[in-house]
Amino acid sequence: MTDQLLRFTDSTELANRAAGMLVTQIAHYQQDPDRIVHLCLTGGRIALRVYESFGGRLEAAGADPGRMELWWSDDRFSATDDPARHAGPALALMAGKFQLDPARTHPMPAADGVIDADAAAATYAKELGDVVFDICLLSIGQEGHVAGIFPDHESFEPQSSTVIGLSGSPKGEVDRISLTVPALERSAEVWFLANGDDKADAVAQALSGSPDTPAGQVRGREATKWFIDRDAGRELPWFECDW
């Protein structure tokens, strides 16, 4: 299946259009009144800008936040109030824009009095069970990492579990929890978000399907979409996206 490339002039246009497409697709799925939509959220600066825009658009798009389950692709295994964690800042941006249902909000465990990232990963794997994500958002690192899966690192080795703990990581010493490649691929659609010149090499590598680049190995079951701004796409042929 061919990846779809959606290119935007800058990061603001990218974030707003991705948020708009997200609410439209959620509303589309929810035309079936029994449908619960499972979203897998990512960390990263551009993702936070999508969340900021997304919450305020749900109602107008006709989407029902009460039939939305929120999961995370990875997080720092640190204290709940660590600003570097993904879940806290994302939820803070969404709170107030729509009613978050705690029973349908699944942040990864935090290291509040717990020290074992592997045990916390196993707990999250149990919570996740057999869930298939409708849409999985993924930011991409400069060296091509996605979620907590890093190139030339044990996190990128074949995994039998859906969730792993990482002791430290190449990007920093803090422990992490991450979905594995097979778990990320339990997604109908994967939407990559990449902006800025520093992501251009990783984007080009990933889109070429590089076996050494984690982002090059994750694909959605039905679609893989790349939301890319002009700078992150500087190594790719340019075309305007008029969606």
Ligand X SMILES: O=C1O[C@H](COP(=O)(O)O)[C@@H](O)[C@H](O)[C@H]1O
Footprint on this chain of ligand X (rule: CB under 6 A): 42-46, 74, 139-141, 146-148, 171
Q: At what angle do helices 45-54 and 11-29 cross, to 10 degrees?
A: 50
Nearest distance, CB of residue 23 and ligand X, angstroms:
22
Q: Which is nearer to ligand X, 63 or 218 (CB)?
A: 218
**Please, what is the minimum distance in Å from the beta carbon of residue 74 to ligand X?**
5
What 3-state DSSP class applies to 70? strand
Residue 13: count of CB within 10 angstroms of its CB: 16
**Is residue 205 classed as helix, strand or coil in its secondary structure?**
helix
- The residue whose two tokens read 């929120």 is 70
Compare residues 41 and 63 and give the one whose CB is closer to ligand X. Answer: 41
Q: How far apart are CA 61 and CA 24, in angstroms?
A: 6
Which of residues 47 and 61 has its CB atom nearest to ligand X in the complex?
47
Cβ closest to ligand X, residue 63 vs residue 232:
232
Minimum CB separation of residue 213 from ligand X in Å reads 13
Cα distance between the two ends of the chain:
20
For the CB of residue 72, give the shortest distance to ligand X in the complex, in Å.
9
Q: Which is nearer to ligand X, 44 or 151 (CB)?
A: 44
Q: What backbone torsions phi and psi does residue 105 show, to the nearest 5 degrees?
A: -115, 120
For ligand X, which is the closer residue by CB, 65 or 148? Answer: 148
Buried b / exposed e over 48-83, threshold 16 CB at 10 Å, is: bbbbbbbbebbeebebbbebbbbbbbbbbbbeeebe
Least Å from the CB of residue 104 to ligand X:
21
The CB-side HSE value for 202 (13 A sphere, CA atoms) comes to 25
At closest approach, how far in Å is the CB of 142 from ligand X?
Answer: 7
Nearest Cα to Cα of residue 192 among 143, 115, 141, 137: 137
CB 105, min distance to ligand X, A: 18
Q: Closer to ligand X by CB, 61 or 124: give it.
A: 124
- 227 contacts 9 by C-beta, under 8 angstroms: no
Residue 105's SS3 state is strand
